[in-house]
A and B are shown apart, each in its own frame.
Chain A
Amino acid sequence: MTTITRRELITGTALALTAEGVAQGEVIQGDLPWKPGVESAPQAVHPGPWRFFTAAEGAAAEALADRIIPPDPQTPGGKQAGCAVFIDRQLAGPYGHREGEYLQGPFVKGSKQQGPQSSQGPEALYRSGLAALDRHCRMSEGGRSFAELSAQQQDGILSGLEAGTLALEGVDGKTFFQQLVKDVQQGFFADPIYGGNRDMCAWKMIGFPGARYDYRDWVGRHNERYPLPPVSIAGRPEWSVKKR
Chain B
Amino acid sequence: MTERLPAKDVVIVGLGWTGSIVANELADAGLQVMAIERGPWRDAAMSYAPNYAQDELRYRIRHELFLRPDQTTFTFRNKMSQTALPIRNWGAFMPPNGVGGGGVHWNGETWRFLPSDFVAASHLKQRYGAHFLPADMTIQDWGVTYEELEPHYDQFEYLCGTSGTAGNLKGEIREGGNPFEGPRSREYPNPAQEQPFSHTLFAKAARELGYKPFPQPSGNMSRAYRNPLGVRLGPCTYCGFCEWFGCANYSKSSPQTTVLPVLVRKSNFQARDNCEVTRINLDSSGKHAAGVTFVDSAGKEFEQPAELVILAAYTIFNVQLLMLSGIGQRYDPVANRGVIGRNFTHQTISDVGSFFDSARFVFNPFIASGAIGMCIDEFNGDNFDHGPHGFVGGGYMGQVQTNGRPIESTPVPPGTPSWGAQWKQAVRENYQSALKPGTGVHGSMYSYRDVYLDLDPTYCDRFQRPLVRITMDFHANELKQNVFLTDRFAEIFHAMGARQVVKEYRKAPYDITAYQTTHLCGGAIMGTDPSTSALNRYLQSWDVPNLFVMGASAFPQNAGYNPTGTVAALAYWSVAQIRSQYLKHPGPLVHA
> Which residues in A have some Cβ–Cβ distance to B below 8 Å?
4, 6, 9-13, 22-37, 39-42, 67-70, 72, 74-75, 94-95, 98-104, 106, 108, 110-117, 155, 158, 162, 181, 184-186, 189-191, 194, 202-203, 205-216, 218-220, 222-226, 233
Contact = CB atoms under 8 A, between A and B. Distances in A.
19 contacts: A29-B269, A33-B41, A34-B43, A34-B46, A70-B420, A72-B424, A94-B62, A100-B63, A102-B88, A104-B459, A110-B83, A111-B82, A114-B77, A117-B86, A117-B88, A162-B419, A191-B57, A206-B432, A209-B366
A70 B421 contact: yes
Interface of B: 40-43, 45-47, 49-52, 54-58, 61-64, 68-70, 73, 76-78, 82-89, 91, 194-197, 200, 235, 237-240, 249, 260-261, 264-265, 267, 269-275, 294, 296-298, 300, 361-362, 364, 366-367, 404-407, 410, 418-421, 423-425, 427-428, 431-432, 458-460, 509-513
Contacts of A72: 421, 424-425
Contact of A113 (B43, B296, B510): B510
A207 B431 contact: yes
A185 B265 contact: no
A32 B43 contact: yes
Contacts of B249: 213
A69 B54 contact: no
B87 A115 contact: yes
Most B C-beta atoms less than 10 A away, residue of A23, A26, A27: A26
Contacts, number: 252
Contacts of B49: 37, 40-41
Given A111-B509, A158-B419, A185-B419, 10 more contacts: A10-B40, A11-B64, A24-B297, A25-B274, A34-B43, A42-B55, A70-B420, A191-B57, A206-B432, A220-B194
Contacts of B88: 98, 101-103, 115-117
A219 B366 CA distance: 10
A233 B55 contact: yes
Contact of A9 (B40, B54, B428): B40
Q: Taking chain A's interface residues, is the majority helix, strand, or loop, or is none over half, making it mixed?
A: loop
A146 to B, nearest CB: 15
Q: Which of A39, A42, A100, A185 has the most chain B CB atoms inside 10 A of its CB?
A: A100
Given A75-B424, A113-B78, A225-B432, A208 B366 contact: yes
B52 A208 contact: no
A189 B61 CA distance: 12
A34 B45 contact: yes
Given A24-B300, A114-B76, A219-B196, A190 B407 contact: yes
Contact of B54 (A114, A185, A223, A233): A233
A28 B271 contact: yes
Given A29-B269, A226-B367, A214 B239 contact: yes
B428 A114 contact: no
B56 A212 contact: no
A104 B68 contact: no
B4 to A, nearest CB: 16
A208 B406 contact: yes
Given A208-B366, A222-B200, A114 B424 contact: no
Nearest to B49: A37
A104 B45 CA distance: 35
Given A186-B407, A190-B57, A206-B432, A213 B85 contact: no
A4 B71 CA distance: 14
A210 B239 contact: no
A188 B40 CA distance: 32
A26 B274 contact: yes
A225 B460 CA distance: 52
A158 B258 CA distance: 52
A100 B432 contact: no
B444 to A, nearest CB: 21
A41 B46 contact: no
B72 to A, nearest CB: 8
Given A101-B70, A104-B460, A111-B78, A29 B270 contact: yes
Contacts of B57: 186, 190-191, 194
A214 B275 CA distance: 37
A110 to B, nearest CB: 4
